[in-house]
Every structure is written in C-alpha cells, then in structure tokens.
C-alpha cells in the first residue's frame, strides 16, 4: 500500500515537472518568436524607409553631406518635372507600396502630414538659418542666403561648376576670346574697412577640359549696390549661354544663374562651428502597424 502510494506521488510529481517544463518551453518559444517577429518588422521598416529615401533623392538630384564644420551640396542644375514626380510618387506609395502591416507618411519639417508635390525647394542650416534654395523646382537658379546677424557663421564657400553642354569662352581659358573671365564689381573687393567678408572660391570646368579658377576670393557682402562675378562666358553653337554669379548684399550671400547651362555644382560651406543641423525638405515616417516599431528621418 505504502509502495503504491509512493509510486503514485512520484508519478504526479514527474507529470507536474514535465508540465512546468512544457509551459516554460512554450513561453520561451513564444518570447523567441515574438523577438524574431519584432526584428523582422524593424528590418522591414528600415528597408522601406531606405528604399523610399533613395527614390526621393534620385528625384531631387541633390546629395547633402555634413562633416564636422562643413556641409556640401552636390547638385544637378537644371531639372524638370520634380513636383509632378513627387506628387505621383506619394500616390504610388499610398496606393501600391503600403500594405496592411506597413504605414508610410511624408512629414513637413514641422512634423505635419504633407503631399510630396508641395515640398518647398528650400534646405535650411539651423540654428544659423542659412538657406540653400531655388526659386522653383526647375532649378535654373540657385541662392544662398544668411541673416546679417549670423553672417560671421560662414567662414568660407567653395563652388565648383562642371558644365556639360557648353565650354568656357573667355580669357585666359580661350586666348582668342573677346572678354576676360576675371570680371567682378570693384566695390565688392575686401578692404581694411570691410565688416562682412565672404571668402569665396569659384571654379568652373567644362566638358572639353577647360578650367578656370577665379583669382579674386574675398568679397564685401555688407556694402550697398549690386556686385557680381559678371557673366562668365561659356559657348555653345545653338544659342546664348553664360554663368552669372552675384555676390551680396546680405542677407543674400550668392546668386548663381546658369543661363541655358547644364551643370553639376558642388557647393561647400565651411562654418565657424560644427554645432548645426540640416533642416531637410521633408521627413519619411515608416511604421510597422502591429508592432511598436517605426522610423522617422529626413527624406
């Protein structure tokens, strides 16, 4: 009798231990599966964000990089159809790219929902409020502005213009040309009394290997009147072409007008601090609907 009772108790204890083991195993398995699902959801969110970001960057034809106290804009000028592309791309994302478990939103710099087609063509360096922008998305003209109270934040600007559809047609690049490349308004030259100086290095290259670097590199951007590195002549047999770079007055720093010229421009701003950030055109928010996983970052 006692032996049978001991066997029964032992059997019950073994069953309880086995049941607890199975429960713990199932709970651990559920936890592991939940972690795997969370990881997969995070990877999907990140992949979707990166995929959309790359498409938008290709549409802008603009690459921005920040390194220490400098920011560079690699840009293609001019461009066509950006607003239409962005609007229809936003519709494509909503109608075909999103899924029941993935939500995508385009947000303004202030965080409000927006139609991609309404993006303003303005990039701002904050908190200095330096702006790199175009009048329209046609990108036929480029401006850099800075509030006069923050003008000292810009230490130096480097601008390289690589022309792909015309060639430099001024002296000394073309010795037989009728005009000089080195043309600038004298009242824009730095003097001992210049309060607002722009140290500006301008380089122009063309598809035939022509190369010109402006000798003048210090400009007064706080004076009165207009000043420019005036109409650097480039030539193409089909029409009138020129590059005009106007310097000052503050808040305007630079006005780059590429008249009929197709070019890649590389603009680098050296600031007096590395404590700044880029307020980009828009943000992309991708969210895994059934998981606490999302990514919000610049477009």
pLDDT in tens, 35-51: 555 555 566 667 776 77
What φ, ψ does residue 224 adopt, rounded to 5°? -100, 165
Look at residue 66 in the predicted model and tell me its pLDDT. Answer: 92
Of the two residues 239 and 227, the one the predictor is more confident about is 239
Look at residue 262 in the predicted model and tell me its pLDDT. Answer: 92
Question: For residue range 193-202, what is the model confidence (pLDDT) as tens digits?
Answer: 778 889 999 9
Look at residue 264 in the predicted model and tell me its pLDDT. Answer: 94
- DSSP helix/strand/coil, 5: helix
In this predicted structure, the answer to whether residue 33 has a pLDDT above a threshold of 60 is no
Look at residue 76 in the predicted model and tell me its pLDDT. Answer: 92
pTM for the model:
0.77
Look at residue 82 in the predicted model and tell me its pLDDT. Answer: 84
- DSSP helix/strand/coil, 100: coil
All residues at 6 or more sequence positions from 211 whose CB lies less than 8 Å from its CB, including other chains: 168, 173, 203, 204, 205
Look at residue 284 in the predicted model and tell me its pLDDT. Answer: 77
In this predicted structure, the answer to whether residue 7 has a pLDDT above a threshold of 90 is no
In this predicted structure, the answer to whether residue 94 has a pLDDT above a threshold of 90 is no
In this predicted structure, the answer to whether residue 128 has a pLDDT above a threshold of 90 is yes
Question: For residue range 142-188, what is the model confidence (pLDDT) as tens digits?
Answer: 999 999 999 999 999 999 999 998 888 888 888 888 878 876 655 57
Question: For residue range 242-291, what is the model confidence (pLDDT) as tens digits?
Answer: 888 888 788 989 989 888 899 999 999 999 999 999 887 667 777 876 66
Question: For residue range 47-85, what is the model confidence (pLDDT) as tens digits?
Answer: 776 777 778 777 778 888 999 999 999 999 998 888 888
In this predicted structure, the answer to whether residue 222 has a pLDDT above a threshold of 90 is no
In this predicted structure, the answer to whether residue 228 has a pLDDT above a threshold of 60 is no
All residues at 6 or more sequence positions from 177 whose CB lies less than 8 Å from its CB, including other chains: 169, 170, 171, 233
Rounded Cα distance, 249 and 224, in Å: 7
Nearest to 258 by CA among 183, 166, 124, 176: 166
pLDDT-above-90 percentage for the chain? 26
Rounded Cα distance, 99 and 81, in Å: 28
Residue ranges per domain, the chain? 1-63+85-117+285-299, 121-280
Nearest to 258 by CA among 245, 247, 243: 243
């Amino acid at each position: 009798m006692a032996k049978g009772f001991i066997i029964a108790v032992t059997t019950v204890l073994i069953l309880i231990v086995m049941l607890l083991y199975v429960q713990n195993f199932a709970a651990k398995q559920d936890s592991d599966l939940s972690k795997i699902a969370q990881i997969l959801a995070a990877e999907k969110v990140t992949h979707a964000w990166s995929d959309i970001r790359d498409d938008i960057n290709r549409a802008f034809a603009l690459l921005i990089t920040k390194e220490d106290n400098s920011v560079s804009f690699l840009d293609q000028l001019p461009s066509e159809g950006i607003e239409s592309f962005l609007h229809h791309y936003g519709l494509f994302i909503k109608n075909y790219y999103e899924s029941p478990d993935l939500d995508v939103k385009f947000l303004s710099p202030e965080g409000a929902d927006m139609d991609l087609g309404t993006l303003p063509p303005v990039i701002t360096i904050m908190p200095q409020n330096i702006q790199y922008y175009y009048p329209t998305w046609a990108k036929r003209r480029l401006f850099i502005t800075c509030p006069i109270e923050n003008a000292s934040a810009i230490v130096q600007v480097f601008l390289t213009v690589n022309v792909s559809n015309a060639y430099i047609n001024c002296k000394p690049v073309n010795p037989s040309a009728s005009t000089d490349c080195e043309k600038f308004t004298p009242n824009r030259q730095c003097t001992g009394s210049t309060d607002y100086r722009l140290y500006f290095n301008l380089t122009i290259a063309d598809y035939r290997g022509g190369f010109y670097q402006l000798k003048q590199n210090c400009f007064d951007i706080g004076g009165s009147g207009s000043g420019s590195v005036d109409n650097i002549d480039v030539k193409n047999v089909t029409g009138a072409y020129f590059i005009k770079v106007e310097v000052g007055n503050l808040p305007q720093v630079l006005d780059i007008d590429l008249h009929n010229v197709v070019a890649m421009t590389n603009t680098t701003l050296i600031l007096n601090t590395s404590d700044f950030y880029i307020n980009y055109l828009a943000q992309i928010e991708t969210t895994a609907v059934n998981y606490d996983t999302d990514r919000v970052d610049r477009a």
